[in-house]
Amino acid sequence: MIASLLAATLLAAAPGPLSVVKSGNADVQKAANAPGATVESLASVVEKFVDFQELAKRALGDKTWATLTPAQRKDFSETMTGLLRASYAQKAIGQAQAEVKYGKESVEGAEATVDTTLTLKKDQIPVDYRLYKSNAKSDWRIYDVVTDEVSLVDTYKGQFQKLLSTKGFDGLLSTLKTKRAQLEKENAAQSAKGASGAAGSATGGSAGPTK
Protein backbone atom coordinates (compact mmCIF):
# COMPACT_ATOMS: atom_id res chain seq x y z
CA MET A 1 0.00 0.00 0.00
CA ILE A 2 2.77 2.42 1.01
CA ALA A 3 4.79 1.46 -2.06
CA SER A 4 1.79 2.13 -4.30
CA LEU A 5 1.22 5.55 -2.75
CA LEU A 6 4.90 6.39 -3.12
CA ALA A 7 4.89 5.36 -6.79
CA ALA A 8 1.77 7.45 -7.43
CA THR A 9 3.37 10.46 -5.75
CA LEU A 10 6.54 10.14 -7.81
CA LEU A 11 4.56 9.86 -11.04
CA ALA A 12 2.45 12.87 -10.12
CA ALA A 13 5.58 14.87 -9.36
CA ALA A 14 7.18 14.13 -12.75
CA PRO A 15 7.21 17.31 -14.88
CA GLY A 16 4.70 17.38 -17.72
CA PRO A 17 5.44 18.52 -21.30
CA LEU A 18 4.60 22.18 -20.61
CA SER A 19 6.85 22.24 -17.54
CA VAL A 20 9.70 20.66 -19.52
CA VAL A 21 9.45 23.28 -22.28
CA LYS A 22 9.16 26.16 -19.79
CA SER A 23 12.13 25.10 -17.67
CA GLY A 24 14.14 24.29 -20.79
CA ASN A 25 13.54 27.71 -22.32
CA ALA A 26 14.36 29.39 -19.00
CA ASP A 27 17.65 27.47 -18.74
CA VAL A 28 18.55 28.32 -22.34
CA GLN A 29 17.88 32.04 -21.89
CA LYS A 30 19.89 32.07 -18.67
CA ALA A 31 22.83 30.31 -20.34
CA ALA A 32 22.63 32.48 -23.47
CA ASN A 33 22.70 35.69 -21.42
CA ALA A 34 25.55 34.55 -19.18
CA PRO A 35 28.90 36.36 -19.61
CA GLY A 36 31.12 34.55 -22.09
CA ALA A 37 28.29 32.35 -23.39
CA THR A 38 29.34 30.09 -26.25
CA VAL A 39 27.53 27.70 -28.56
CA GLU A 40 29.21 24.80 -26.77
CA SER A 41 28.14 25.91 -23.30
CA LEU A 42 24.61 26.46 -24.56
CA ALA A 43 24.52 23.12 -26.35
CA SER A 44 25.28 21.37 -23.05
CA VAL A 45 22.17 22.98 -21.57
CA VAL A 46 19.96 22.28 -24.58
CA GLU A 47 20.72 18.56 -24.78
CA LYS A 48 19.34 18.07 -21.26
CA PHE A 49 15.80 18.36 -22.62
CA VAL A 50 16.13 17.93 -26.40
CA ASP A 51 16.67 14.37 -27.67
CA PHE A 52 18.83 14.98 -30.73
CA GLN A 53 19.27 11.27 -31.39
CA GLU A 54 15.50 10.72 -31.54
CA LEU A 55 15.16 13.73 -33.85
CA ALA A 56 17.82 12.31 -36.16
CA LYS A 57 16.25 8.84 -36.17
CA ARG A 58 12.78 10.17 -37.03
CA ALA A 59 14.20 12.39 -39.77
CA LEU A 60 15.98 9.43 -41.36
CA GLY A 61 12.81 7.31 -41.23
CA ASP A 62 12.10 3.86 -39.80
CA LYS A 63 12.55 2.05 -43.13
CA THR A 64 16.05 3.41 -43.73
CA TRP A 65 16.99 3.04 -40.06
CA ALA A 66 16.03 -0.65 -40.17
CA THR A 67 18.47 -1.32 -43.04
CA LEU A 68 21.50 0.08 -41.20
CA THR A 69 24.07 -1.93 -39.31
CA PRO A 70 24.71 -1.13 -35.62
CA ALA A 71 27.94 0.62 -36.62
CA GLN A 72 26.15 2.75 -39.22
CA ARG A 73 23.43 3.69 -36.73
CA LYS A 74 26.05 4.75 -34.19
CA ASP A 75 27.99 6.79 -36.75
CA PHE A 76 24.85 8.48 -38.07
CA SER A 77 23.49 9.25 -34.59
CA GLU A 78 26.78 10.74 -33.38
CA THR A 79 27.20 12.84 -36.53
CA MET A 80 23.65 14.19 -36.48
CA THR A 81 23.72 14.82 -32.73
CA GLY A 82 26.86 16.93 -33.15
CA LEU A 83 25.34 18.81 -36.07
CA LEU A 84 21.96 19.38 -34.41
CA ARG A 85 23.26 20.49 -31.01
CA ALA A 86 25.56 23.05 -32.64
CA SER A 87 22.83 24.33 -34.96
CA TYR A 88 20.14 24.44 -32.24
CA ALA A 89 22.39 26.25 -29.78
CA GLN A 90 23.50 28.75 -32.42
CA LYS A 91 19.87 29.70 -33.08
CA ALA A 92 19.13 29.87 -29.35
CA ILE A 93 21.87 32.47 -28.87
CA GLY A 94 20.28 34.61 -31.57
CA GLN A 95 16.90 34.35 -29.82
CA ALA A 96 18.18 34.92 -26.28
CA GLN A 97 16.26 38.19 -25.88
CA ALA A 98 12.99 36.83 -27.23
CA GLU A 99 9.83 36.77 -25.13
CA VAL A 100 8.01 33.45 -24.96
CA LYS A 101 4.25 33.16 -24.45
CA TYR A 102 2.98 29.68 -23.63
CA GLY A 103 -0.22 28.25 -25.05
CA LYS A 104 -1.90 24.89 -24.68
CA GLU A 105 -0.43 21.49 -23.89
CA SER A 106 -1.79 18.51 -25.82
CA VAL A 107 -0.99 14.95 -24.72
CA GLU A 108 -1.89 11.79 -26.59
CA GLY A 109 -0.34 8.65 -25.16
CA ALA A 110 3.45 8.90 -25.31
CA GLU A 111 3.37 11.95 -27.61
CA ALA A 112 2.72 15.59 -26.71
CA THR A 113 2.73 19.07 -28.23
CA VAL A 114 3.27 22.40 -26.47
CA ASP A 115 2.26 25.58 -28.33
CA THR A 116 4.23 28.79 -27.80
CA THR A 117 4.58 32.18 -29.45
CA LEU A 118 8.00 33.78 -29.75
CA THR A 119 8.12 37.58 -29.82
CA LEU A 120 11.39 38.84 -31.26
CA LYS A 121 11.48 42.63 -31.69
CA LYS A 122 8.11 43.25 -33.42
CA ASP A 123 7.75 39.79 -34.95
CA GLN A 124 5.50 37.13 -33.43
CA ILE A 125 6.48 33.61 -34.45
CA PRO A 126 4.47 30.48 -33.57
CA VAL A 127 6.78 27.77 -32.25
CA ASP A 128 5.40 24.35 -31.32
CA TYR A 129 7.42 21.76 -29.44
CA ARG A 130 6.80 18.05 -29.98
CA LEU A 131 7.76 15.72 -27.15
CA TYR A 132 7.73 11.99 -26.48
CA LYS A 133 8.30 9.48 -23.68
CA SER A 134 10.25 6.32 -24.47
CA ASN A 135 8.39 4.49 -21.68
CA ALA A 136 6.00 5.18 -18.80
CA LYS A 137 8.82 5.89 -16.33
CA SER A 138 10.92 8.15 -18.57
CA ASP A 139 10.86 11.95 -18.72
CA TRP A 140 9.30 13.95 -21.53
CA ARG A 141 11.89 14.91 -24.14
CA ILE A 142 11.64 17.30 -27.11
CA TYR A 143 12.27 15.65 -30.47
CA ASP A 144 10.91 18.24 -32.91
CA VAL A 145 10.43 22.00 -33.15
CA VAL A 146 7.84 23.41 -35.55
CA THR A 147 8.55 27.06 -36.38
CA ASP A 148 5.82 28.90 -38.28
CA GLU A 149 4.39 25.51 -39.37
CA VAL A 150 7.78 24.25 -40.60
CA SER A 151 8.90 21.07 -38.83
CA LEU A 152 12.61 20.54 -38.17
CA VAL A 153 12.18 16.77 -38.50
CA ASP A 154 10.27 17.09 -41.80
CA THR A 155 12.82 19.56 -43.17
CA TYR A 156 15.70 17.17 -42.51
CA LYS A 157 13.64 14.22 -43.76
CA GLY A 158 13.16 15.92 -47.13
CA GLN A 159 16.87 16.69 -47.42
CA PHE A 160 17.82 13.14 -46.39
CA GLN A 161 15.54 11.53 -48.96
CA LYS A 162 17.07 13.58 -51.78
CA LEU A 163 20.61 12.70 -50.73
CA LEU A 164 19.77 9.02 -50.21
CA SER A 165 18.28 8.79 -53.70
CA THR A 166 21.34 10.35 -55.36
CA LYS A 167 24.29 9.46 -53.11
CA GLY A 168 23.11 6.56 -50.95
CA PHE A 169 23.62 6.32 -47.21
CA ASP A 170 27.41 6.70 -47.35
CA GLY A 171 27.05 9.87 -49.40
CA LEU A 172 24.47 11.24 -46.97
CA LEU A 173 26.70 10.52 -43.99
CA SER A 174 29.71 12.13 -45.69
CA THR A 175 27.69 15.27 -46.45
CA LEU A 176 26.49 15.49 -42.85
CA LYS A 177 30.01 15.08 -41.48
CA THR A 178 31.25 17.89 -43.72
CA LYS A 179 28.40 20.15 -42.62
CA ARG A 180 29.01 19.34 -38.97
CA ALA A 181 32.72 20.13 -39.25
CA GLN A 182 31.96 23.42 -41.01
CA LEU A 183 29.39 24.47 -38.40
CA GLU A 184 31.61 23.54 -35.47
CA LYS A 185 34.49 25.51 -37.04
CA GLU A 186 32.24 28.57 -37.39
CA ASN A 187 31.06 28.23 -33.80
CA ALA A 188 34.62 27.87 -32.50
CA ALA A 189 35.66 31.02 -34.36
CA GLN A 190 32.63 32.86 -32.99
CA SER A 191 33.42 31.74 -29.44
CA ALA A 192 37.05 32.80 -29.80
CA LYS A 193 35.96 36.20 -31.12
CA GLY A 194 33.55 36.62 -28.22
CA ALA A 195 36.22 35.72 -25.68
CA SER A 196 38.66 38.15 -27.30
CA GLY A 197 36.08 40.91 -27.21
CA ALA A 198 35.30 40.25 -23.56
CA ALA A 199 38.99 40.37 -22.66
CA GLY A 200 39.40 43.60 -24.56
CA SER A 201 36.47 45.18 -22.76
CA ALA A 202 37.72 44.02 -19.38
CA THR A 203 41.13 45.64 -19.92
CA GLY A 204 39.71 48.72 -21.59
CA GLY A 205 41.42 47.81 -24.86
CA SER A 206 40.13 47.09 -28.33
CA ALA A 207 39.39 43.64 -29.71
CA GLY A 208 39.98 44.85 -33.26
CA PRO A 209 43.25 44.83 -35.22
CA THR A 210 45.86 47.46 -34.44
CA LYS A 211 46.42 50.18 -37.00
The model's confidence at residue 13, banded by pLDDT at 50, 70 and 90, is low
pLDDT over 90 (residue 2): no
pLDDT in tens, 155-170: 999 999 999 999 999 9
Rounded Cα–Cα distance for residues 159 and 123 (Å): 28
Please list, residue by residue across 116-140, b when 16 or more beta carbons sit within 10 angstroms of its beta carbon and e when fewer do: bebeeeeeeeebbbbbbbeeeeeeb
Residues 6+ apart with CB under 8 A from 27: 45, 48, 49
Write the CA distances from 18 to 72, 79, 168, integer angstroms: 34, 29, 39
Quickly count helices (H) and strands (E) in the chain: 7, 5
pLDDT over 70 (residue 70): yes
Predicted TM-score of the model (pTM): 0.79
pLDDT in tens, 125-150: 999 999 999 998 899 999 999 999 99
The amino acid at 174: S
pLDDT in tens, 90-100: 777 766 677 89
The model's confidence at residue 193, banded by pLDDT at 50, 70 and 90, is low
